[in-house]
Amino acid sequence: MEQLEKILGAGSRTDDMVQILDPQGFVHEDPQYSEHIAALSAEDVRAMYRDMVLTRAFDAEATALQRKGELGLWAPCVGQEAAQIGSAHALAPRDFVFPSYRELGVALVRGLDLRQTLPIFRGVRHGGWDPKAHNFGLYTLVIGAHALHAVGYAMGVQRDGDVGTGDPERDRAVVAYFGDGATSQGDSNEALVFAASNNAPVVFFVQNNHWAISVPTSTQSRVPLVHRGGGFGIPSVRVDGNDVLASYAVTRVALERARAGGGPTFVEAVTYRIGAHTTSDDPTRYRDRAEEDLWRAKDPIARLRSHLERRRLADEAFFTAVDDDATALAESARAYCHSLSGGPHEEMFDHVYTAPHPLVAEERAALAAYEAGFADADEEAR
């Protein structure tokens, strides 16, 4: 283990798990990462708490909307808020994010109106937002595919000369978020090959929520997932994904390294999916309640609230205001969802390629002719 870390450099922490804020809300010093936490203001930490509460409230409302038939599907992220919010707060505006389909908290921190995540799950749009507006890509439903997209984008950033200049207004990095299940996919492993070979400025942020649908992580990998990065020569770190402060610090260091030209980092954020994989899943069929209760006791939001209260960084008025904002967000999501309707079917052809393409034009014309046939039938019926 020590030999591997010497080969990979000081960026690796594969022998232990970085934890700064324990489940009871007490802060512990870490020789490598505590200095980055010390730089956070009370306002910064309160913002993280607020973002986690808002994320959970929206997530719960979207789940309820699916149960009522208003959405076709939803992928809950309850329990994973700290990993997402902490890492997202480490991002710089010019960094680009490639999410999977569960990164609700990251979307919130990047400034996306969370309601824009609903159209794709209601089935009225293929996306829902402009990726360039917040440097936050569209959700990827093909497991692991976006890891390759992220590395390709990072290689483009590298070739644009936006790495290692020392200018914070120019240097940028890329983050690919995916789950433990995606580490078994060929695409994500190929992405690690390309990232290592090209020293690409990309951070692979793996949210190990312990279950790839019904398959436990122990079945997918005989060793901790953090060792996947080392196998490709990529510095790797294992972090407590229910600790928002540690998630922030680890990601910040990885991003700074990437922007400076230090290459990729593999981060395994150890967390837990409290809810179902998606609303089409029934987790009671493959795991017991005792396991869920064990992880509920490590709740990331309760953990940070205990810290804020103990350090007197927030009062009851703050917590009440956050809860009120969360309720308002949920109500807004409900109203927005009910207002959604599909646009013309030909929209699906608008953004397939950046320039006109003969095959797309042919398919667009075929759809138009097909739909026009229904209009002719209606006329004949009259």
User: One of 273, 303, 305, 307 is an active-site residue; which one?
Assistant: 273
Residue 215: CB partners within 8 Å, gap ≥ 6?
A: 181
Could you tell me which residues are beta bridge partners of residue 204?
Answer: 176, 266
Bridge partners for 240 per DSSP: 270
What whole-number distance in Å separates Cα of residue 81 and Cα of residue 56?
A: 7
- 236, β-bridge pairs: 266
Distance between CA atoms of residues 62 and 302, nearest Å: 22
Which residues are paired to 265 by β-bridges?
203
* Cα–Cα distance measured from residue 219 to residue 238, given in angstroms and rounded to the nearest whole number: 19
Residues, the chain, total?
382
Half-sphere exposure at residue 201, Cβ-oriented, CA atoms within 13 angstroms: 29
Closest alpha carbon to 239 in 280, 207, 269, 200 = 269
Taking a C-beta distance cutoff of 8 angstroms, is the pair 244, 44 a contact? no
Q: Is the distance from CB of 140 to CB of 146 less than 8 angstroms?
A: yes
The one-letter amino acid at 296: R
Residue 277 designated active-site: yes
Element (H, E) at 192: helix 186-198
How far apart are the C-alpha atoms of 44 and 237, rounded to whole Å? 24
Picking from 286, 268, 269, the residue whose alpha carbon sits closest to that of residue 277 is 286
Structure tokens at 382: 């009259």
DSSP state letters, 272-328: ---S-SSTT--GGGTS-HHHHHHHHTT-HHHHHHHHHHHTT-S-HHHHHHHHHHHHH
The β-bridge partners of 175 are: 97, 203
Q: Which of 286, 296, 310, 345 is catalytic?
A: 286
215-216/211-212 β-pairing: antiparallel
The Cα–Cα gap between 87 and 265 comes to 13
List active site positions: 273, 277, 286
